[in-house]
Amino acid sequence: MTDPLTRLNLFFDDLNHIRIIQPELASQTSDLREECIDFTNSIESFKNIADGFINIVASLAQEVDKEKMKAIGARNLVKSMAKQREAQEQRLQALLLEKTTELERLRIQHQSLAKTESEQLEMMDRLLTLQ
């Protein structure tokens, strides 16, 4: 059937409004539009979620890095502490050795003085018995 209106590309919809597009097409188009909007919305929200995730991961990475550095620092500190202790020990050992030699010197001096004392006491004894 050749409707002159159809030839002119004019249609009537169910509500008898004149339309320039076929009513089914029109409704399909609007459906498509709705769906497109829905789709962009969901993409948007996905992007937000993804961003959020990325941020969280990045901050986590930073945190991890920081902790890692801390751990390395602490480990080094422990290591150097051991070295420091060693150096300190060496230092104290050297000072100790110095004091020991000093003590030895004083011991020898004391010994010689004690010897002199005993000699003097002996002499006093002898003088007393002479009297």
Partner 1 sequence: MQLKLSFPKDAEHQDTVSCVSWNNTEEVFSCGDDHVLKKWNLLTTDSQKICEFPEELNPLDFHCFSRNIGIRKTGQDQMLIASSDGKFHLLGKSGRIEKTVEAHKGAVLVGQWAPDGASFLTAGEDGQVKIWSRSGMLRTVPVHASGVPIYCACWGPDSNNFLYTQGKHLVIKSLLPNVKPNRWRAHEGLILKVAWEQINGRIVSGGEDGRYKVWDSYGSLVFNSMLHEHPITSIAWSPNGEMFAVGSFNTLRLCDKSGWSQYLDKPDTGSLYSIAWSADGTQLAAACANRKVLLAHVIGRRVEWGPLEATTTRRKTVVMSNAVHSGSDTLEFPERVIHLALAYKHLVVVTTTQCYVHNINNINTPVIIDLREGSVYMVLLAEKHMILVERSSIGVYSYDGRLISSPKWPSLNTATLNPSQISLGPDCIAARDQADEKVIQIFDINGKEIGTPLSHTTQIGEIGLSNGGSAFERLLAFVDRTRDLYIATVHPRPSTSRKIDKLGSVVQSFKWNSHLNIIAAIQDTSLTLWYYPFIIFVDKKLLRRTAVIKESSEFGHRPQVTTYVGNHVGIRRSDGALINSGVSPYLAILHGYSMSGSWKDALRLCRMVKDEALWACLAVMATQGKEIDTAESAYAAINQFDKVLYLQHIREIKLKPVQMAEMSLLGGNVQEAEALLLQNGMIFRAIMTNISTHNWERALEIATRNRTHIDTVLLYRQRFMDRLGKQEANEKFNMLRSNVEINEEQIDVKVQYELEKEKDRS
User: In this structure, how many other beta carbons lie within 10 angstroms of the beta carbon of residue 13?
Assistant: 14
CB of 104 to partner 1, least distance (A): 7
Tell whether residue 81 is a contact of partner 1 (CB under 8 A): no
Tell whether residue 80 is a contact of partner 1 (CB under 8 A): no
Our CB check for partner 1 shows the closer of 65 and 98 to be 98
C-alpha 19: how far from chain center? 68
Tell whether residue 116 is a contact of partner 1 (CB under 8 A): yes
Binds partner 1 by CB under 8 A, chosen from 98, 100, 121, 125: 98
Contacts of residue 19, defined as CB under 8 A and 6 or more positions apart, other chains included, come to 10, 11, 12, 13, 26
Burial class (CB in 10 A: 0-12, 13-18, 19+), 103: exposed
Our CB check for partner 1 shows the closer of 3 and 98 to be 98
H or E segment and range at residue 19 = strand 18-19
Tell whether residue 130 is a contact of partner 1 (CB under 8 A): yes
Question: Which residues lie near partner 1 (CB under 8 A)?
Answer: 87, 90-91, 94-95, 98, 101, 104-106, 108-109, 111-113, 115-116, 119-120, 123, 130
